[in-house]
Structures are given as C-alpha cells and as structure tokens.
Amino acid sequence: MRKSDGSNGWSVRGAFSTRLPGAGDMPALTPIGSYVYHADMKGNSGNHWGWNLGPGGLLANNQWYAIEQYLKLNTPGRRDGVFRAWINGHLVYERDELNFRDTDALRIESVWMNIYHGGVRPAPRDMSAYLDNVVIARQYIGPLTESSP
C-alpha cells in the first residue's frame, strides 16, 4: 500500500480476486489478472487489470493452463513499457504506453512466485494453485506441446 512514483519501485503480480471483473458471476470459474504498481497509478494500492481479451480472463476450476506473461520496462522518462499475458497460447491481455520507472536504477531484479488474492481481505474459502514447468525466457516460447523437449 505504498504508491509507486517512478523511483521507489514497481511490481506486476498475478491476481485472482473477487475484485476482478466476472468474480462471483460463475462459481466454477476464477477470474485472473494482474495487480500492478506503476508510476502513473492514482492511489496508494495497486491497480487490478483483469485479463479480458479473447478466450481468457476466467479460468475453469480444476484444470491446467499454460499462463505466460511478458514485461518490458519503460525507458526512463518515456511511456513505452509493455505488458502482455497469454493463456494456452491465446493473447488475453495487452497494454502498452506504460510508465513503471523514471530511473535506470529500477530494473527487473527477480521473478517472485507470488499469487495475489484480495489484500487484507481473507479468501472466502481454502484455495489451491498448483504451479509446474516454470520457465523464464527473454522471448515468447508458447505453451508446451506433446513434441516440446
């Protein structure tokens, strides 16, 4: 809950939350998106970006998905950052002209395997998320297939 100002940090985290569009409408589906702290945010808490392009945004419970994300930080002083997300090879979210930082000192330092749910609000029930075949790459690789190494 600390406002990002372009010099004190940024983050883009995976999110499933009752605050995302579609939450509560269909109990067998879970809305997915991102919880983002960026230099152009208005309040102290991050922004929720629901992934809602094409076939995505709502995940059927108890099913495996290939979820991929791409982030390009902006050039300091310019709004040229990019964020994209894919589910099973389908682009489900894309946003450009992003401003995460005003200084070269802020970089991508690590990948944090954190899944956000609701901040100080407790989850409505016990929930599980299973992660497997985690890959970090500099370019889009697509979901694994039967012929993938």
**Which residues are paired to 47 by β-bridges?**
36
- Confidence at residue 115, expressed as pLDDT on a 0 to 100 scale: 66
Number of domains in the chain: 1
Residue 59 lies in a domain: yes
Largest CA distance in the chain: 46
- Confidence at residue 122, expressed as pLDDT on a 0 to 100 scale: 76
What is the domain extent for residue 33?
11-116
Q: Give the Cα-Cα-Cα angle 13, 47, 88 (nearest 5 degrees).
A: 45
- Confidence at residue 71, expressed as pLDDT on a 0 to 100 scale: 95
Residue 86 lies in a domain: yes
- Confidence at residue 9, expressed as pLDDT on a 0 to 100 scale: 94
Residue 95 lies in a domain: yes
Calpha distance 21→3 (Å, rounded)? 23
Residue 73 lies in a domain: yes
> Tens of pLDDT along the chain (149 residues)?
789 999 999 999 888 755 555 555 566 777 888 889 999 999 998 898 989 876 567 888 889 999 999 999 999 999 999 999 999 999 999 999 999 999 999 999 888 877 666 667 777 777 778 888 899 988 888 888 776 65
Residue 16 lies in a domain: yes
Residue 31 lies in a domain: yes
Residue 131 lies in a domain: no
- Confidence at residue 123, expressed as pLDDT on a 0 to 100 scale: 73
- Confidence at residue 23, expressed as pLDDT on a 0 to 100 scale: 53
- Confidence at residue 56, expressed as pLDDT on a 0 to 100 scale: 67
Determine contact, residues 15/33, Cβ cutoff 8 Å: yes
Residue 141 lies in a domain: no
